[in-house]
């Protein structure tokens, strides 16, 4: 009879521990959120092609984020030739956002412009890793242009 009592108590402890383990795993999985891209837009030379012959390209390329209400805003600004033609795409995997920017080789102008890529995200978690890759159609592969982690 004692053996049966011990087995029942042992089974109860195993069931209780399994329940606790399951809950802690669920909590860890629920803390990872996948950001959702709700919109992207281009500004700067994409829109009005304002040239600025005085721009110094060193230190002008930027990447930053801001948060307004429940939206995480990411800006990528590249200073490049006014005649530059860019395309971009976004891939999201768990809490990592990869931005792929491609420059099409072509004609050049005698001026520099700010090219702004703006991205708006919702459903982001406690941390989001942004990696911006760049490539030109003249080059064989992408390279890391910049990284940023929120917060």
pLDDT tens-place string over residues 90-108: 999 999 999 999 988 888 8
Residues 132 and 66 in one domain: yes
Residues 145 and 90 in one domain: yes
Residues 68 and 57 in one domain: yes
Enclosing domain of residue 57: 33-150
Rounded Cα gap, residues 23 and 19, in angstroms: 6
Residues 41 and 24 in one domain: no
Considering only CA atoms, which of 74, 81, 77, 147 is closest in space to residue 110? Answer: 81
pLDDT, tens digit (0-9, with 9 covering 90-100), for 41-52? 988 777 655 555
Global pTM value: 0.72
Q: What percent of the chain has pLDDT over 70?
A: 71
Number of structural domains in the chain: 2
Residues 7 and 70 in one domain: no
Residues 1 and 50 in one domain: no
Q: What is the pLDDT of residue 25?
A: 45
């Amino acid at each position: 009879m004692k053996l049966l009592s011990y087995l029942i108590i042992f089974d109860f402890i195993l069931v209780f521990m399994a329940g606790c383990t399951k809950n802690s795993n669920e909590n860890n999985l629920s803390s990872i959120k996948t950001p959702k891209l709700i919109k992207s837009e281009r500004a700067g030379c994409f829109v009005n092609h304002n040239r600025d012959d005085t721009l110094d390209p060193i230190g002008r390329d930027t990447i930053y984020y801001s948060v307004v209400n429940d939206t995480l805003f990411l800006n990528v600004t590249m200073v490049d030739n006014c005649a530059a033609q860019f395309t971009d795409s976004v891939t999201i995997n768990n809490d990592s956002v990869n931005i792929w920017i491609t420059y099409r080789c072509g004609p050049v102008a005698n001026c520099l412009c700010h090219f702004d890529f703006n991205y708006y995200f919702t459903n982001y978690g406690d941390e989001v890793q942004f990696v911006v890759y760049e490539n030109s159609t003249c080059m064989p592969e992408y390279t890391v242009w910049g990284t940023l982690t929120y917060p």
